[in-house]
């Protein structure tokens, strides 16, 4: 493990670390990385926003003091989450394709879908005020391979 932590992807003997680096590599390999440099940058922008959203959650989640943790998680749900979901909603508005970038699913869509799917599972109804985000979840969740994966996915707490 190059940095002593997971995840690691090995390709032709080369060990690659860091989630976003691995995902960007795989997105390019499988046609999910954008058709132009501007599309790629737009995808990266959305992926980075998901990382920011997750980072805010993780800071609260890893708090050791249970009282403080409960306060931080409540603030996250009530303040941080609406801020980020509003940003995603705005990015999706006026996109005829229903995808964040271009006219097909990209890494941006998969990143947002997975995070929102997990977040909504822990907070049912949290997406109710974000119709474009709800439509996006339905659209990406109906992609045959994603739908099959979700049907077979084992439940975890993270």
pTM of the predicted structure, to 2 decimals? 0.87
Residue 157: per-residue pLDDT: 62
Per CATH, the architecture of 37-152 is what? Up-down Bundle (1.20)
Query: Do the Cβ atoms of 24 and 50 come closer than 8 Å?
Result: no
Query: Do the Cβ atoms of 103 and 97 come closer than 8 Å?
Result: yes
C-alpha closest to that of 105 among 27, 22, 20, 25: 27
List the domain boundaries for the chain.
1-30, 37-152
- By CB atoms closer than 10 A (0-12, 13-18, 19+), residue 27 is buried
Cα(71)–Cα(93) distance, integer angstroms:
32
- The number of helix segments (H) and strand segments (E) in the chain equals 7, 2
Query: Do the Cβ atoms of 27 and 19 come closer than 8 Å?
Result: no
Per-residue pLDDT of the chain (158 residues; tens, 9 = 90+): 888 888 999 999 999 999 999 999 999 999 999 999 999 999 999 999 999 999 988 888 899 999 999 999 999 989 999 999 999 999 999 899 999 999 999 999 999 999 999 888 888 889 999 999 999 999 999 999 999 999 998 876 65
Cβ neighbours of residue 97 under 8 Å, at least 6 residues apart? 103, 104
């Amino acid at each position: 493990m190059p940095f002593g932590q997971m995840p690691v992807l090995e390709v032709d003997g080369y060990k690659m670390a860091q989630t976003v680096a691995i995902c960007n590599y795989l997105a390019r390999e499988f046609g999910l990385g954008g058709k132009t440099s501007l599309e790629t940058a737009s995808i990266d922008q959305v992926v980075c926003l998901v990382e920011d959203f997750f980072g805010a959650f993780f800071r609260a989640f890893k708090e050791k003091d249970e009282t403080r943790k409960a306060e931080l998680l409540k603030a996250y749900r009530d303040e941080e989450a609406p801020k980020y979901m509003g940003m995603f909603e705005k990015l999706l508005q006026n996109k005829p394709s229903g995808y964040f970038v271009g006219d097909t699913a990209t890494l941006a869509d998969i990143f947002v879908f997975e995070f929102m799917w997990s977040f909504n599972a822990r907070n049912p109804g949290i997406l109710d005020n974000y119709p474009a985000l709800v439509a996006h979840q339905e659209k990406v969740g109906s992609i045959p391979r994603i739908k099959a994966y979700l049907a077979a996915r084992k439940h975890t707490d993270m």
